[in-house]
Amino acid sequence: MADRDPEQENLFKEIDEDLRQQKYADLWKKYGNYIIGAAVALVVGVASVKGWEAYDLNRKSEDSKLLSSALKSIASDKPDTAADILNKLAADGSAGYAVLARFNQAAVLAKRGDRKAASAAYLALSEDNSVDEIFRDMALVIAALHGLEGGDAALLTDRLARLVNGTSPWRHSAKELSALLAQKSGNKAKARKLFQEIADDATAPSGIRARAAELTAILGGK
């Protein structure tokens, strides 16, 4: 059998690579909104529950009214009004409400389409030791989510390592995001390795395992 022309071989490789990239892009479009939507739900759900447990909300009626007003403004697509209220609450509110205000300040930035600033705001929360650990870990995951497009991949990967290598309930999401950051940075070997580890991890949530298995296949895994 005659050897394949080198130029033809390169062409086939480029076509194959383009197809893989398109499959990856299609898959991210399919799952990306779900992942980000889940993160938003976590902010509302976990932050509300933990905030209720950790702080005496009933004694902070004024702060409660301010937060409620800000959330209504966000829901009504009035981010500027919400931002003004949240700025006041973050600066002058009681500890619990100040933290919730900061989360929502970052959410407003994301709603405005400034994902880079949103990622930085969430990252700042994740590095604030005065904030409860579950809030910090959640903020780090959301910072990485918003940082997938145009964020500092090396910095986010470094920060996520403490979750990936620990026992945090966020460790599987952190590893998935580390894989996505590696893929976005062009390190396909690392991305494939991390996705394969997730796919093989029986302790990982089924949704994350399914995505990891599909992405492993797209990137040329076993």
- Tell me if 11 is assigned to some domain: no
Looking at residue 110, what is its pLDDT? 86
- 130-169 per-position pLDDT tens digit: 888 888 998 999 999 888 888 899 999 999 999 999 888 8
Residue 124 in this model has a pLDDT that exceeds 90: yes
- Tell me if 13 is assigned to some domain: no
Cβ distance 118 to 110 under 8 Å? yes
- Residue 205 is given by DSSP the state -
Q: Indicate the pTM of the whole model.
A: 0.72
Same domain, 146 and 171: no
- b vs e for 163-200, b when ≥16 Cβ sit within 10 Å of the residue's Cβ? bbeeebebbbbbbbbbbbbbbbeebeebbbbbbbbbbe
Strands (E), the chain: none
Same domain, 58 and 168: no
Among 123, 151, 179, which residue terminates a domain? 151
In order, the DSSP letters of 117-149 are: HHHHHHHHHHT-TTS-HHHHHHHHHHHHHHHTT
Same domain, 38 and 116: yes
Looking at residue 2, what is its pLDDT? 45
- Tell me if 133 is assigned to some domain: yes
- Tell me if 10 is assigned to some domain: no
- Tell me if 12 is assigned to some domain: no
Cα–Cα distance measured from residue 136 to residue 123, given in angstroms and rounded to the nearest whole number = 8
- Tell me if 128 is assigned to some domain: yes
Looking at residue 221, what is its pLDDT? 53
Same domain, 214 and 166: yes
Structural domain range at position 68:
20-151
- Tell me if 15 is assigned to some domain: no
- Tell me if 210 is assigned to some domain: yes
Confidence at 211, pLDDT banded by 50, 70, 90: confident
Q: Which range among 29-43, 60-74, 121-135 shows the weakest confidence by mean pLDDT?
A: 29-43
The C-alpha torsion from 68 through 116 and 164 to 139, rounded to 10°, is -20
**Domain total in the chain:** 2
Same domain, 135 and 101: yes
Same domain, 78 and 141: yes
Q: What is the CA radius of gyration of the chain?
A: 21
Same domain, 123 and 206: no
Q: Phi/psi class of residue 5: alpha, beta or left (left: φ > 0; alpha: ψ in -120 to 50)?
A: beta
Closest CA to 152 of 163, 162, 143: 143
- 45-98 per-position pLDDT tens digit: 445 444 545 545 454 678 888 888 888 888 888 888 988 999 998 988 887 888
Same domain, 137 and 172: no
Same domain, 169 and 201: yes
Among 151, 178, 197, which residue terminates a domain? 151
Same domain, 171 and 213: yes
Same domain, 143 and 169: no
Cα–Cα distance measured from residue 188 to residue 180, given in angstroms and rounded to the nearest whole number = 9
Closest CA to 40 of 86, 96, 113, 108: 108
Looking at residue 19, what is its pLDDT? 45
Among 151, 172, 197, which residue terminates a domain? 151
Same domain, 63 and 106: yes
